[in-house]
Amino acid sequence: MTTNAGPGSLAVTPTPIDGMVLFDLPVHGDARGWFKENWQREKMTALGLADFGPVQNNISFNAEPGVTRGLHAEPWDKWVSVATGRVFGAWVDLREGPGFGTVFTAELDPSKAIFVPRGVANGFQTLEPATAYTYLVNDHWSPDASYSFVNLADPTAAIAWPIPLAEAEISDKDREHPRLQDATPILPRKVLVVGAGGQLGRALAAEYGHAAHIDYADRADLDLTDPGLPTARHWRDYGVIINAAAYTAVDEAETPTGRTDAWSANVTGPAALARIATAHGITLVQVSTDYVFDGTAPRPYREDDPVSPLGVYAQTKAAADAAVQTTPRHYVVRTSWVIGDGHNFVRTMASLAQRGINPTVVDDQTGRLTFTTDLARGIRHLIDSHAPFGVYNLTGSGEPRTWAQIAARVFELTGHDPARVTPVSTDAYYAGKSGIAPRPANSVLDLTKIQATGFAPADQDTSLTAYLA
């Protein structure tokens, strides 16, 4: 029996199949036998392997050489190794996309292991008696999972099995698997957009469309505060959750009822999603706000500036940011002055201009408009580009303006006299009014970090012109 029981060193080699990597494992032997670290999370993730979170360990014992199994693609990741004996392994990419049909083969003994991504078909042929083929998986086996298969003898894959298949021990079921051209592609893990009925949710639907792996949910479909949320869906099927749901009634949040509702929607829900994301290796995207800052800084706010929320709404959003940052795979996207396809400041100003009403607008709060189309585009960019996880500012670009300046620009772009807008201080505007939440005077967010990922936020004036057109 071959054991290759030399000291070796832990090393990783990429393969032609995207995301699949072959590991050399140190095997330490003496007269008694040998020992190896078959799976060592800290060392292997340090070499670039995804922390895929295995939950089940399976072993296939094969008594004789020539036992051939596969090719099976399951909706979970696998860490494949050999405990005793030797195998010829074969893998075929059955994931939907340009890599479909890519083949890789390698011989595995105890000194080798391979990470097989979700959707890559796995097969092997034993080369020695008493071979134990082992694999860790990051989801529990289920008969209801979506599997795909390809025939061991497929001429397109053209796998050069060391022992001819006519002489091999193969189950009838495996012999009947379809040819590669008829194999069912495995779709990507799903993307779930929560808060699909809101302005950002609708923009995300326009950005992503309605592919089979994109799910949209509003509160009627998925209540984030429901204690049953952890079992509401088969979460291992999801790769990304984008939380576009939020309580945004800034002034109403200052009331007793509003305070309760704001904490429930803005903190309880995201915290529950963070626990689910951690448990199932999901990337969680949380949309945050400039309100987490008190607005007193003399410069644009950076992602690493300490938060200092003023009102109840601001406090709930800051708390949600902290909760979401506890899950390893997260993007907290801070934005400001969001404009979408619903009721908003720009539409209000355009309506006032058309109706001959001259508004008074605050001129001591400064920021940039963010259009939901650009926000959705930026969120997708972070996900698709695999940008480093963390907090990102994402607003429109260009010269910051006050609300009064933006109102005047709306009047100008709609063919009305911008001088009809009267600037006023925040204190004067809200004088005599109660229950008003404090607003940050400086809402300008520094965009350097997201620009470094290759994303160019749209100029707010260009977006405003197009929006009004």
Q: Among all residues, which ones are annotated catalytic? A: 72, 135
Q: Residue 405's CB: how many other CB atoms inside 10 A?
A: 17
Q: How far is residue 439's CA from residue 336's CA, in Å, rounded to a whole number?
A: 12
Beta-bridge partner residues of 401: 367
CB 320 within 8 A of CB 271: yes
Q: Buried b / exposed e across 269-302, counting CB within 10 Å, b at 16+? A: bbbbbbebbbebbbbbbbbbbbbbbbbeeeebbe
CA angle 422, 427, 430 (to 5 degrees): 80
Smallest CA-to-CA distance from 249 within 237, 238, 265, 236 is with: 265
CB 180 within 8 A of CB 158: no
> How distant is the alpha carbon of residue 339 from its chain centre?
24
Q: How far is residue 95's CA from residue 150's CA, in Å, rounded to a whole number?
A: 12
Of the chain, the end-to-end C-alpha distance in Å amounts to 76
Strand, helix or coil for residue 446: coil
